[in-house]
């Protein structure tokens, strides 16, 4: 799984309307300390990090926990296109609309008109371009996963967004915060590689890995087998 440095938070506006706030380039859960606090506060039943009403209010006002200010766009404005879109920004979507969208593996072309996918991709044109490349590589279907059809907006909460690590699994915002959706920190200073940091693998290691990959082939879709076969051949020849 590849973390997109984006998160999708659920809360209510000052008018008490449930919304999804998609944040790119930062977010409430952008620090290990805030992730740790989410663990201490106990995660929601579907393993999201709990947020406070104040955090949602600040985010809707464009204020991040570190004091930075970011622009907030309505989906209607975002869909029209934002000139010179900044690296950090957020888009507010109607919660009910996001919740009723299909979550899972689906027709790729249908995603170009999906508000959640458009926001995740960075815009309408970006989404169309993304799907074009997806179809060239994976075919007619692609994943777009979300937890909102199983989310109670009464409790503010947040989820991290990932690019699925398994072939055409797609954009995945439905990971547990204490599992695939956990946070991996990045060192503030460059780290110098040490000698012997990576140990050479033995023939026994290769034999075991090949056996595990062959076992995995029993449950992998036929259209994904080509990539799995390449992994096996590479292990046997390197």
72/121 same-domain check: yes
Q: What is the pLDDT of residue 134?
A: 86
Residues of the chain scoring pLDDT < 50: 1-3, 166-169, 178, 180-199, 219-220, 224
* pLDDT score at 30: 86
Of 172, 190, 225, the residue that ends a domain is 172
- What pTM did the predictor assign? 0.72
Q: Taking each helix axis as running N to C, give the angle between helix 203-216 and helix 225-237, from 0 to 180 degrees, rounded to the nearest 10.
A: 170
Residues 121 and 230 in one domain: no
For residues 165 and 213, membership in a common domain is answered with: no
Pair (19, 121) in one structural domain: yes
- In 3D space, the residue among 121, 131, 108, 118 whose CA is nearest the CA of residue 76 turns out to be 118
- In a domain, residue 196? The reply is no
- CA atoms lying within 13 Å on the CB side of residue 207: 3
Report the pLDDT value the prediction gives residue 164, as an integer from 0 to 100: 60
Q: What is the pLDDT of residue 175?
A: 56
Number of domains in the chain: 2
For residue 223, being part of any structural domain is answered with yes
Of 31, 29, 24, 85, residue with least CA distance to 56 = 29
Q: Is residue 219 part of a domain?
A: yes
Distance CA 39, CA 33 (A): 10
Tell me: do 24 and 137 sit in the same domain: yes
Sequential DSSP letters for 80-136: H--TT--SSEEEEEEHHHHHHS--EEEETGGGGG-HHHHHHHTSHHHHHHHHHHHHH
**pLDDT the model gives residue 107:** 94
Residue where a domain terminates, one of 172, 189, 215: 172
Q: 210 with 167, same domain?
A: no
Q: Is residue 178 part of a domain?
A: no
* Domain enclosing residue 67, as ranges: 2-172
**Does residue 195 belong to any structural domain of this protein?**
no
Question: Tell me, what's the pLDDT at 104?
Answer: 87
225: closest CA among 233, 214, 217, 213? 217
pLDDT (0 to 100) of residue 31: 87
Question: How distant is the alpha carbon of residue 106 from its chain centre?
Answer: 17
Residue burial 187-205, b: 16+ Cβ < 10 Å; e: rest: eeeeeeeeeeeeeeeeeee
Both 81 and 130 in one domain: the answer is yes
> Do residue 155 and residue 45 come from a single domain?
yes
Is 9 in the same domain as 97?
yes
Q: Are residues 55 and 122 in the same domain?
A: yes
Same domain, 161 and 208: no
According to the model, what pLDDT value does residue 67 have? 93
CA distances from residue 161 to 170, 189, 196 in whole angstroms, order as listed: 11, 25, 34
């Amino acid at each position: 799984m590849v973390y997109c440095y984006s998160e999708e938070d659920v809360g209510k506006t000052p008018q008490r309307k449930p919304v999804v706030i998609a944040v790119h380039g930062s977010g409430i859960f952008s620090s290990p300390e805030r992730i740790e606090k989410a663990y201490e506060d106990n995660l929601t039943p579907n393993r999201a990090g709990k947020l406070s009403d104040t955090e949602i209010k600040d985010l809707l006002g464009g204020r991040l926990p570190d004091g930075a200010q970011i622009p907030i766009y309505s989906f209607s404005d975002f869909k029209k296109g934002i000139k010179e879109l900044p690296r950090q920004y957020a888009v507010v979507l109607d919660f009910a609309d996001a919740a009723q969208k299909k979550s899972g593996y689906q027709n790729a072309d249908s995603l170009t008109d999906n508000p959640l996918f458009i926001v995740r991709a960075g815009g309408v044109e970006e989404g169309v371009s993304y799907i074009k490349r997806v179809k060239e590589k994976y075919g007619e279907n692609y994943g777009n996963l979300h937890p909102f059809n199983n989310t109670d907006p009464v409790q503010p909460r947040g989820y991290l967004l990932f690019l699925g690590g398994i072939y055409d699994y797609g954009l995945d915002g439905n990971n547990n915060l204490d599992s695939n959706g956990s946070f991996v920190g990045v060192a503030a200073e460059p780290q110098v590689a040490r000698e012997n940091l990576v140990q050479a693998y033995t023939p026994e290691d290769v034999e075991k890995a090949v056996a595990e990959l062959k076992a995995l082939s029993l449950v992998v879709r036929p259209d994904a087998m080509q990539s799995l076969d390449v992994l096996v051949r590479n292990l046997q020849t390197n």
